[in-house]
Structure 1
Amino acid sequence: MKKIPQTILFLLLLVFTFVAAENSTAHRGGGGADEFHVGVILDLGSLVGKVSLASISLAVEDFYSVHPNYSTKLAIHVRDSMGSEVQAVSAAIELRENYKVQAIIGPQKSSEAAFISKLGSVTQVPIVSFTATSPSLTYDSSPYFVRATLNDSVQVNSIASLIKAYGWREVVLVYDDTDYGRGILPHLIDALQHSDTYVPYHSGISLSATSEDIMQELYKLMAMQTRVFIVHMSSTRASLIFTMAKDAGMMSKGFVWIITNGLANIIDLLSPSAIEAMNGVIGVRFHVPKSQKLDTSFLIRWNKIYQRYNPNKLPLNKSISIVGLWAYDTVWALAQAAEKVGVSGNRNKRLQPHKNSTCLDSLAISINGTELLTEIVQNKFRGISGNFDLTERQLQVSVLQIINVVGGTWRHVGFWTSKNGLSRYLNQNELETTGSSASMPDLNPVTWPGESTEIPRGWEFPASGKKLRVGVTSSAYPEFISTSKDPVTNATRVSGLSIDIFENALKRLPFALSYEYQAFDTDGNSTSSRSYNDFVYQVYLQRYDIAVGDITIIYNRSLYADFTIPYTESGVGMIVPVKEKVDTNMWIFLKPLSQGMWFRSFIFIIYTRIAICLLEYLSGNRYLHEDMLESFLSRIVHRVWKIVLLALASIYTASFASILTVQRLSPALTDIHELQKQGGYVGFHQGSYMEGLLVDIGFDRSKMRSYDTPDNFHAALSNGVENGGVDALVLDVPYIKLFLAKYCKGYTMVGPIYKSAGFAFALPKRSPLLAELSKAIINITGGDTIIQIEKKWIDQNSCQHDEEMDGSGAITFGSFRGLFLLTGFVTACSILAAFLMCHCKKQEESRHIQDADKGNEENGDCNDDIDNQATILVPDSPNTNSISDGVSAEPFTQTNSCQALSAHFVH
């Protein structure tokens, strides 16, 4: 009997041990590991939610198959948010109360994450989301929130670079009117502005918008000039938008659609009909590098789990979306952190209740929440999505991929990094530099909407048949522009140089443009009573699409309008009367020739005189006067020199007469500041910007007078100040040239005295037509067209105005170099010829003497007779003293002179 109690005791002990073991096994999940409870909140009705759930389940299986000896194991508790913020928050509270979850994966939406991250901060439970991308979710506002995905703001620079590379200047933003949709706007607009891209309109689509509302908004977008749209929406809304845009004809040639990475990342998960509607769209998405982990076997295993949860869905045969890969890596990161933190016996403590407390006050605080958060953000590893690094509390990105949706799928266009910009290829984790400012981006060809391969301009005039409204106004100078009304059709008729340039520019545009002229002064007021500033301001008020006329580009107008490049020369000048000027300089007669010319002429005169004397001397003549020249060579030199002197004298006479005539007329004044100091009167064109310019210079308004027409300008100048006129007129240089062409006597231009940009056409700020028109104007002004237009409207045969001359207009030696070289050459050749002739005579004389000596030896006394005959032959030589002294003068005959000079110069 004593053994029975022992047996019973043994059996009871065995039972208690078995029960404890069962409890322990149940508590540890049946695998000997402590359960680490984790909540998962997803919208299971959405495609992203279904894909994410399959990835999370596969990640748990794969992780613990690789790490079977871990002491902890994630226990996943899934809740469906049904796309509701309230439902998501309710699920988070329930998970915390019932399962004491140590972390929450999700929620799926940024708006849900904003609520639940506050709950996480109160209970110190980390909230890890791989889908909440709104930049408004920050560590400062939610310290326990971890973003296991990209912040939407990281893609804005890539989008701006893409737009700049293709040369688009305006874009329209189309987005969900939610926290997710609005969160990217400040960052994206700022990036676009830095790239000189304008955003004229934001199209926020409310979640409550009906199909009719969306279609009405699309028609509004289609009525705009801008054809570049950036879409930042959820997959459900984006699929609807693109389907309706296709029906509205907005997926045709000329349109550009860019999707952000929120949609581009899950492009593989969209329905075939949605992808077909998006044909031609380009987008920015996260680049997933090639990995051995991401193979066919992984996709097979993932599809098995996916179909386990979604038996009515077909398997995904292409690839898992990036969101699914992030969900997979998030589980691995959390599982590793859980193992390091472990499961504490007392994992929670209650909040201290207080008066008026709510149900949130009853939630327990996680003791190891801070440690778990630290382990999560410090965990780095090479995941299936690439480098998984959460050290900045959000996923870091190094490369983004540009894709093009074509033929029911997408293809690669290029890459982007913050360091090197856009490029076609990826080279050892670094991109080859492209320079996004290049005229053509270094990217693969893109098939745009409408199956077009031509890069869209990014803008079109609305297809509603609306014509370009061209504002015109009559000028004081009808040669530039004049307007009138057709008495039959009441249409505005225009003509002038400005109109010809504008119409020629339109013909050079790469597209047809329908337009109509609208006169600025249609209300009956004269142009003079309405300023050009008011005219340009009508463009800002959107009354005109462009203002055409003789409009000067000035700073204050550029504040509310953009201008094409100028089509006329620039500058502001003065028109002043001319007055007589008497020059009393006693040396004025020297001005026609330069100092160098005077000096060289004097040298040539001396040189020529010496040459003539030498030639006459060599010829045996006594040179006393020009009329007594006997040498043939000296007469040639003298006549050539007379030709040079005759030409020089003619030019001198004409130049001297011009100096005496021109210097009689000079400007009455040459300095506008001097006129202002003297209190003179100045005139200007009424309605122009000259009034403000003169005030800035310092003129008193009482000294300024405005006029309407060139006739009034002429009368004001000719009457003078004494008769109510002015001392000078200040006008744009093109106006001055027209005035002087008509009134060419008694006036002259001074200046330009002030810089201006010239005449141009005004357009609305950031008008897409600006660049095209400017290129066309360059084509006109750089060729023969502008010459023909100016000949048509401006008299090219107007009288030429004499200008005051100075010493710089004197005739220089260079102008007569040819004549001086001619006379110098002739003189030198003559002297050389004379020396050669003397030398030849000497040789001949020597032979005669030798022959004579031989004859004397043969004939004896006959030599005396020969000598006497030689002496008698030269009695009239200039070197003889008299006829009777002929014998004694024999040594000074012509032959002897040549011999002496030849002996000196030749030998």
Structure 2
Amino acid sequence: MNLPVILSLLGIFPLMAKSEVSAQGRNVQYCSINHHHEIGSIGVVVDQSSRVGKEQKIGVEMAVHDFNRESHCSKVDLHIQDSQGNSARAASAVTEVVNKKQARVIIGSLTLQEATLLWELDKVPKHIPIISTAQMSTSLPLLPSDRSLPFIGMSTDINIQMQCIAAIVGHFRWRKVIAIYEHSNSFSADTGLVTHLSDSLRAIESVVEHHMAFHPVGSEPNPKEFIEEQLRKLKGKSVKVFTVLQSSLEFAMVLFEKAKELGMLDRGYVWIVSDDVASLLDSVKSSFILEYMQGIIGLKTTYSETSHSFQAFERRFRRKYRSEYPEEEKFSSPSIYALRAYDSTLAVAMALQNVKGKVNSSGLVDSILSCNFDGLAGKISFKNGALLQNPVYQVVNVIGKSYRPVALWSPEFGFSKAPIEHDGMVTNSGNGLREDLGQIYWPGAELKVPKGWTLGESGKPLRIGVPANGAFHYFVNVTFEQSRNETAITGFSIQVFEAAVSHLPYHLPHVLVPHYGSYDQLVSEVHNKNLDAAVGDIGIVVDRYKIADFTQPYLETGVVMVVTVKPDVTKTRLMVLKAFALKMWILLAALSVFTGAVIWLNEHANNNPEFRGPFPQNIGAMLWFSVTILSFAQRESIRSNLSRLVLATWLFVTVVVTTCFTAAVTSWMTVPKIEPSIVDIDYLLGTDAPVGCNNNSYIGRFLTNVLHFKPENVRRIGSISDYPEAFQRGTIKAAFLAAPHAKVFLAKYCKGYTEAGSKFKLGSFGFVFQKGSPLADDISGAILKITLTGTIDQMEKRMLSSLNCSSSAGEDNQGPSKIGTEPFFFLFLVSGSLLVVAFVNAVARLLERHCSIFDCIQASLINRRAGRWALLLLTRCFTKFGTRNLRVPIMHRHSRI
């Protein structure tokens, strides 16, 4: 079909050149004399009691008139039936135009389910194609591959409209909506609308909190009373975002009239209407809009309103509409429904002309699906039995006596304010968000974006539970003030919550309620809706997260182990002496004495004149004697090589020990060490040591279920002040605390305790709200704000600095870490071995020189005990050496004793 014919069929033939008009006029005159050739009849079934049905009727009649006038002697007949908004009446009307009027094509607002039922019941022959102007509620191909059911959709997928609604909801961060829709009186159910919306909202983390279906206005004996009754139920809901998914204009007008009377169009409410209503706003009286529809947001399918074809069609449409419906004379502008009816009829007429009267339905369907032209409503081309072109919605805001555009939205690009041409259609230029949306006037003349929910019709403040039995009252402290006769609730967690509430864009009335059960019970109270929320040092763990919503954590935490420490040895008066263990000091003293004695013996045995003094008779004298000998040996020459070896070994050992002693003392003096008494949990598990945790805390389950402590070894501690006493008595060897609690404990008891082992990432602190509560997201956003500004860090520093550090009760129970003999064992072994060898050598030489074998044997027989014999023998020999009377017999001296 050539361009002039298409343009003339679109109703703009008066704008064509005069020569073309004259030629067309001659054709019209010729055909009027010789009669048009009828190429088929079209059956149309619409609800003529509704505004949409009236517009569709006018649109279809105009399309047939234009085609018959410009089709060069081809003619189509038109048979219109009124469905009266009822599926049964629609089926009867379809049967009548097919059987009695011999309609070859049916155009109407029939759904796929209704058309299928008509074909299956043989009410309509399967070769009769049905062109549906109803919204398509499926994204599957509408036309089967075998084309046994020739169903063609002339409207867009309803899923796209639901996505647009979800985009608006997600843009303003509303987390719950209430869906309202009117039954269409069709054979099919309308619950698919809610399903499609729920799927779209799920993508932006929102949900349909409640949905309500209404019967058509004409089916209720008193529709206003019924709608008012249902709206009262919805008014009591906390959610204040309403979206009208499907509605006739008549139902929408009654709905908003009653909503206004009930105060549901006041400040704080949000109303979003679908294309069903928004596209008909031009036909609503301005007085009604001004009174009952202020602040509503609507989705309006866009089309070119500036083209010559549309302007010509609009003028003719208004004249015809006014003549047929004079009572609506002032509100006769065409909507998208009139344009689609016109385009649908034109496509069918052109297809009938192409098949030239052939009865074969396959050829007729193929001809319809092959249409490709720019219609009044947009590009007319098909894919899988539905319109190929995705719609572009104009988001409008009702204000004053009419509405104004806010933004454009399309599934490809999202929101935008700047329209561009895309494949012949007006579309948007980007995926902008808030910056691309104009100022919106909300119900109640509110400019601030509504939060989308309220506390309910009663306006009662939120009941927020706080833990009254927490072990660390620095986070939540519940006290009763007798002077004021009221309960005071303070603490770090309360301060954080109040700071977050102050950053909300709205006032949040609330009251804090003490809860004297466990933390798990507190969360359960929120889940059971006995409390609206819970605030405190509440850990976010899996069991609690399943039944409640948590805010963004306000303190990152984990589970840490706190144990006693080994005290700082630099604060001990005898720190130097405590560097070595007592055994070490004794061994050093014994080694020095023995070394001095051995050197004296060896030198005396070698007749060194410098070593001829008497041997001491007691321990004190022996110690002084050894020191003197060692000092003298370093100054004087030593004749015995064995003595030199013993002395060199002793000096080497002394240097090594002295160096270690100096290093240890220096380290303690300069860098005092705080060492934990227990390093890790393996020692606790291996020794069955008892451990402690907060009473009514999730950490107890963590210790038994995850770390595998025996339940009888887990002690429940009721207060922060009970931990030191438990450590002192040995009731617990370690305490497992949440990281913020551990900070407070170590700040209060800064001496004698420290963290040890690894930190387990578990249980950040957050606030609790009921599942799906939009307040959780708002408070989370406020927590992020005060976190970025450093407010929470400042609060935490003030809390920790306010604690008075006190020493722990068990601080001095353990002694300092001392150096024992083990590191020097090898040196002592070598030195001791040399001393024994040197001693044996010296004694042997002395005995050989001064004692006969007979005297030694006689002395040993007198005293049979080996130890006493040795001591007596040594004493006699040394005495004799000291008095220089070496030749006196041993027996004689013994007899004198």
The normalised TM-score by structure 2 is 0.69
1:621-678 CA distance string (max 9 Å, x none) = xxxxxxxxxxxxxxxxxxxxxxxxxxxxxxx999956715976762121212443344
2:453 aligned with 1:453: no
2:532 aligned with 1:545: yes
1:59-138 to 2 correspondences below 5 Å:
59-70=63-74, 73-107=75-109, 115-116=117-118, 118=120, 122-135=125-138
Change (3 A) 1:145 1:487: farther
1:704 is matched with which residue? 714
2:564 is matched with which residue? 577
1:199-218 to 2 correspondences below 5 Å:
199-207=208-216, 208=220, 210-218=223-231
* Among 374, 377, 383, the residue aligned to 1:391: 383
1:691 is matched with which residue? 700
2:181/2:244 contact within 8 Å kept? yes
2:836 is matched with which residue? none
2:367 is matched with which residue? 375
2:174 is matched with which residue? 168
1:347-366 to 2 correspondences below 5 Å:
none
2:301/2:391 contact within 8 Å kept? no
* Among 176, 183, 204, the residue aligned to 1:195: 204
Change (3 A) 1:489 1:574: same
Paired amino acid for 1:692: R
2:672 aligned with 1:668: no
* Among 481, 490, 495, the residue aligned to 1:495: 490
Hey, what's the Cα distance between the residues in 2 that align with 1:312 and 1:581?
Answer: 99
Cα shift at 1:32: 3.4
Change (3 A) 1:535 1:712: same
Hey, what's the Cα distance between the residues in 2 that align with 1:433 and 1:305?
Answer: 37
1:783-828 CA distance string (max 9 Å, x none) = 467645763686344158999999xxxxxxxxxxxxxxxxxxxxxx
Hey, what's the Cα distance between the residues in 2 that align with 1:697 and 1:99?
Answer: 84
Say which SS state the counterpart of residue 48 (structure 1) adopts: helix
1:356 is matched with which residue? none
Say which SS state the counterpart of residue 184 (structure 1) adopts: helix
2:770 is matched with which residue? 764
Stretch of structure 1 that moved more, 665-674 or 419-428: 665-674
Hey, what's the Cα distance between the residues in 2 that align with 1:108 and 1:235?
Answer: 18
Identity of aligned residues (%): 31
Cα shift at 1:488: 11
Hey, what's the Cα distance between the residues in 1 that align with 2:794 and 2:83?
Answer: 74
Change (3 A) 1:674 1:111: same
Structure 2: which 5+ runs fail to align? 1-31, 581-660, 818-897
Hey, what's the Cα distance between the residues in 2 that align with 1:29 and 1:476?
Answer: 103
2:545 is matched with which residue? 558
Hey, what's the Cα distance between the residues in 2 that align with 1:431 and 1:676?
Answer: 69
1:483/1:495 contact within 8 Å kept? yes
Say which SS state the counterpart of residue 398 (structure 2) adopts: strand
Hey, what's the Cα distance between the residues in 1 that align with 2:140 and 2:125?
Answer: 16
1:275 is matched with which residue? 289
Paired amino acid for 1:562: D
2:718 aligned with 1:716: no
1:498/1:548 contact within 8 Å kept? yes
1:476 is matched with which residue? 471
Cα shift at 1:691: 2.2
1:571/1:752 contact within 8 Å kept? no
Cα shift at 1:537: 2.3
Paired amino acid for 2:761: K
1:158 is matched with which residue? 164
2:194 is matched with which residue? 185
Hey, what's the Cα distance between the residues in 2 that align with 1:139 and 1:569?
Answer: 54
2:194/2:211 contact within 8 Å kept? no
Stretch of structure 1 that moved more, 153-162 or 202-211: 202-211
1:492/1:518 contact within 8 Å kept? no
Change (3 A) 1:465 1:158: closer
Hey, what's the Cα distance between the residues in 2 that align with 1:55 and 1:699?
Answer: 81
2:515/2:522 contact within 8 Å kept? yes
Cα shift at 1:387: 0.7
2:410/2:428 contact within 8 Å kept? no
The normalised TM-score by structure 1 is 0.68
1:306 is matched with which residue? 321
Cα shift at 1:128: 0.8
Paired amino acid for 2:383: T
1:519 is matched with which residue? 514
Say which SS state the counterpart of residue 221 (structure 1) adopts: helix
Say which SS state the counterpart of residue 687 (structure 1) adopts: coil
Hey, what's the Cα distance between the residues in 2 that align with 1:124 and 1:751?
Answer: 81
Cα shift at 1:779: 4.9
2:39/2:353 contact within 8 Å kept? no
2:240 aligned with 1:227: yes
* Among 400, 406, 411, the residue aligned to 1:407: 400
Cα shift at 1:90: 1.2
Cα shift at 1:322: 0.6
2:68/2:76 contact within 8 Å kept? no
Cα shift at 1:192: 0.9
Say which SS state the counterpart of residue 706 (structure 2) adopts: helix
Hey, what's the Cα distance between the residues in 2 that align with 1:565 and 1:304?
Answer: 61
Cα shift at 1:191: 0.9
1:332 is matched with which residue? 346
1:680/1:726 contact within 8 Å kept? yes
1:287-316 CA distance string (max 9 Å, x none) = 102453435443332233324433444154
Paired amino acid for 2:702: L
Cα shift at 1:565: 3.0
Query: Structure 1: which 4+ aligned runs deviate by more than 6 Å?
Result: 485-491, 580-586, 652-655, 800-806
* Among 734, 744, 748, the residue aligned to 1:738: 744
1:282/1:403 contact within 8 Å kept? yes
1:103/1:127 contact within 8 Å kept? yes
1:463-484 CA distance string (max 9 Å, x none) = 4221111112211222222335
Change (3 A) 1:214 1:110: farther
Hey, what's the Cα distance between the residues in 1 that align with 2:566 and 2:473?
Answer: 30
Change (3 A) 1:683 1:324: same
Hey, what's the Cα distance between the residues in 1 that align with 2:480 and 2:233?
Answer: 34
Cα shift at 1:44: 1.2
Hey, what's the Cα distance between the residues in 1 that align with 2:103 and 2:497?
Answer: 73
Cα shift at 1:75: 1.0
1:252/1:449 contact within 8 Å kept? yes
Cα shift at 1:506: 2.7
Say which SS state the counterpart of residue 294 (structure 1) adopts: helix
1:88-137 CA distance string (max 9 Å, x none) = 11122222221222111114678755644655775321111223444399
Count of aligned positions: 678
1:196-234 CA distance string (max 9 Å, x none) = 223222222234484334223323333333222111122
Paired amino acid for 1:764: Q
Say which SS state the counterpart of residue 573 (structure 1) adopts: strand
2:602 is matched with which residue? none
Hey, what's the Cα distance between the residues in 1 that align with 2:162 and 2:524?
Answer: 34
2:143/2:152 contact within 8 Å kept? no
2:304/2:376 contact within 8 Å kept? no
Paired amino acid for 2:212: S
2:407/2:416 contact within 8 Å kept? yes
2:277 is matched with which residue? 263
1:572/1:756 contact within 8 Å kept? yes
Structure 1: which 5+ runs fail to align? 1-27, 345-366, 522-526, 590-651, 807-907
Cα shift at 1:65: 1.8
